A and B are shown apart, each in its own frame.
Chain A
Amino acid sequence: MDFEEPGERAARARADLLTAIVLVALGLVIFYLSWSMPRLEPRRIHPATIPGLVPMILGLTLAFCGALLGWRAGSIEAKGGWQALGRVLVSRPAVRILALLALALFYTLVLVGWLPFWAASMLFIFTFILLFELSMTDQPADPLRSGIWALAIAVTAGWGIFFVFERIFLVRLP
């Protein structure tokens, strides 16, 4: 069952082509790294048990599958596929994803460690809800209502997670 639009299919075919190139390159790099991995001769191990054996096979198989994927993607008729792929990358969902990613990274890499975990989490949850209810949407919610909800959830969840994990289940938090 496939409900996807032709434009989406064309974009995926082109994305597959790009991925195929990455996979072939990755497979070959892994093969090279495994080939040049120490074979532990001084330890007199059996040559059929060298540490690089399985990664070497996997690298080659990945490159082979990548090549097959590229061949398959290339044989799919994808008129306007590159343009469709370009549109996907600058579409509204892509912007939402990037905003979420930026917020999540800022929380994890900067806030956690700089503030106590519960405070960092409260701040993250509050900003997240406001961002997606007021800004990253075509139907913004009422700011006051949204703000009250965001505050309530942030405080409850931030404190709740701290209490449940650290106090009840004795799990250490970041």
Chain B
Amino acid sequence: MFDGLLLLGQGIGHFLTLTSLFNVAWATLLGLVVGILPGLTATMGVALLVTLTYKMPADQAILTLMCVYLGAIYGGSRTAILLNIPGTPANAAATLDGHPLAQQGRAGLAMGLATTSSTLGTIVGIFFLAIIAPLLAEFALEFGSYEFFWLALFGVVISGQMAGSDTPLKGYIAGILGLLVAMVGMEMLHAYQRFTFGIPALGGGVDLIPAMVGAFGFAEILSSMKHRVVARVASVNDRVVPSFREIFQYWRTIIRSGVIGTFVGIIPGVGEDVGSWSSYALAKRFSKKPEEFGKGSQEGLIAAETGDNAVVSAAMIPTLTLALPGSAAAAVLIAAMLIHGIRPGPMLMTENPVFLYQVVAMLLLATLANLVFGLSLTKLLIKVLAVPRERLMAVVYVLCVVGSFAITQRMFDVYVMIVFGVVGFVLREMRYPMAPLVLGIVLGDLLDVNLRRGLMLSDGDVSPFFTRPISAILFAVVLLTILMSMPMVSRRVTGLFRRLAPQGRTS
């Protein structure tokens, strides 16, 4: 306990230098701008920034990326409030009450509430990160190949089901496609090159960064340039800094949304948007004034913005302890950590225990920077909203080319980016979620190697995958997740719960 506090103190102290604070300032501002600009998402921002930071020392590079990530998730709320367009997918729920508040002439209050609740959401997430991550890492040391196989499969399956589409089937298909992409190149068990078709550049497999820059950068450019959009920004005439009472009268909502966001963040590959929507739905259900939701409810806005920011911190729990990305942006962070020689996973707490607390410190600094910039630079940040997409997206595409080229310095990676961009765009248009695809690419090796290694250890016997206690639980969870995504099963289970529930509590 005291060791943890000491390490946390060291983590914070480590970043109280001029260089670190300078990096926090510019990266958070950049993140805010990325989040504010519709069409630029947090994942895209982090993926593009990996290039810029890869010559930095590891701690500074991850600090910078974390600030961009958190800044973007928060920044998107501003667009949601003033433009009625979510700046990033995470802020979709914030439009429901944020924009009506702006239309009522209370845009300043809405921005203030969003800023403060974002900070509080992050702090709730940080609290759980500091507590849960060390315990989970210790527990995960007992995991063997069998457990890691199920964990990898669970990540892809749960992300496929919850990533949001017209059918979970599309999520699963996206996940399988991601896993198949990971099968390209040299496999780890026998060093055999699969699906390379004689192309030497494919020998090392498809790198995550160019794939992510394509799927989240180029595909996003294509999506946002499909139509011409003219921004109509709501005016801000009232005060931005909220009063203590305006925020803390909803303390129950804040804590509940923070906990929901944390829970969603821990689930692999389920991102900020799910955290935000779940918090919003539950806040409405437990609210004393549910009729105000969607018409400018302050409670609704607070729930949405607390929920999504808590996800960011909590997503670091599986990311750091199991190397299972808690969100799409966290997948990029894993790639960035590996580039900088940091190996996330159960061994992290043994090999580099300080790093976990450094991440806590990074999140703390980033959220404080968000709070300061969010409450002070209102006018300047609104100007960003007026930038037309026609003028912005050309520059973003150039950055996509740079971002995919610079790490390995191969034009091949730029072509990978283009292919993933086009395929990603087509899949998105047909409502295939991108998060399971990314998770598939990240977890493909883990799944493949652990399945075959497990079979090798048991001499081809599959029973340990189902009989070892943790494996059995994970298998049951995976099976249940798949079964629940079948409409006929989920209808029956819901019907059963309704019958069992007391009268009047069926909504």
Contact = CB atoms under 8 A, between A and B. Distances in A.
Interface in A1-48: 2, 12, 15-16, 19, 23, 30, 33, 37-38, 40, 43, 45-48
Name the residue in A69, A104, A125 with the highest tally of chain B Cβ atoms < 10 Å from its Cβ: A104
A163 interface: no
B430 A12 contact: yes
Contacts of B179: 54, 58
Contacts of A48: 452, 455-456, 459-460
A72 B145 CA distance: 36
A110 interface: no
B225 interface: yes
Interface residues of B, number: 61
A165 B402 contact: yes
Secondary structure of the A side of the interface? Answer: helix
A129 interface: yes
Name the residue in B176, B221, B425, B456 with the highest tally of chain A Cβ atoms < 10 Å from its Cβ: B176
Interface of B: 51-56, 166-167, 169-170, 172-173, 176-177, 179-180, 183, 187, 189-190, 192, 194-195, 218, 221-222, 225-228, 388, 390-391, 393-395, 397-399, 401-402, 405-406, 409, 411, 414-415, 418, 422, 425, 430-431, 447-448, 451-453, 455-456, 459-460
Nearest to A125: B394
Contacts of A113: 411
A170 interface: yes
B430 A68 contact: no
A138 interface: yes
Interface size class of chain A, counting residues whose CB lies under 8 Å from the partner chain: 35 or more
A173 interface: yes
Contact of A108 (B53, B418, B448, B456): B418
Contacts of B394: 124-125, 128-129, 153-154, 157
Interface string A102-134: 001101100011000000010011001100110
Contacts of A23: 173
B169 A58 contact: no
Given A46-B460, A69-B169, A174-B414, A30 B180 contact: yes
A157 B397 contact: no
Name the residue in B393, B399, B402, B422 with the highest tally of chain A Cβ atoms < 10 Å from its Cβ: B402
A48 B456 CA distance: 7
B455 A170 contact: no
Secondary structure of the B side of the interface? Answer: helix
B399 A161 contact: yes
Contacts of B54: 171
B452 A49 contact: yes
Contacts of B451: 53-54
A83 interface: no
Contacts of A54: 179, 183, 447-448, 451-452
6 contacts: A38-B192, A49-B456, A101-B222, A128-B394, A154-B394, A165-B406
Contacts of A51: 187, 189-190, 192, 194
B228 A138 contact: yes
Interface of A: 2, 12, 15-16, 19, 23, 30, 33, 37-38, 40, 43, 45-49, 51-55, 58-59, 61-62, 65-66, 68-69, 72, 93, 96-97, 100-101, 104-105, 107-108, 112-113, 121, 124-125, 128-129, 132-133, 137-139, 149-150, 153-154, 157-158, 161, 164-165, 169-174
A120 to B, nearest CB: 9
Given A45-B190, A49-B189, A65-B172, A125 B180 contact: no
A150 B166 CA distance: 40
B459 A97 contact: no
Name the residue in B166, B422, B447 with the highest tally of chain A Cβ atoms < 10 Å from its Cβ: B166
Name the residue in B167, B169, B390 with the highest tally of chain A Cβ atoms < 10 Å from its Cβ: B390
Given A55-B180, A107-B401, A174-B402, 9 more contacts: A15-B430, A33-B195, A54-B179, A69-B167, A97-B226, A108-B401, A157-B398, A164-B52, A165-B402
A38 to B, nearest CB: 7
A57 to B, nearest CB: 9
A161 B169 CA distance: 41
Nearest to A150: B391
A88 to B, nearest CB: 9
Given A45-B190, A48-B452, A174-B401, A101 B422 contact: yes
A107 B218 CA distance: 14
Nearest to B427: A19
A9 to B, nearest CB: 9
Contacts of A38: 192
A104 B180 contact: no
B55 A171 contact: yes
A43 B177 contact: no
Contact of B194 (A12, A16, A55, A68): A55
A65 B418 contact: no
A100 B401 CA distance: 15
A11 to B, nearest CB: 10
A2 B164 CA distance: 12
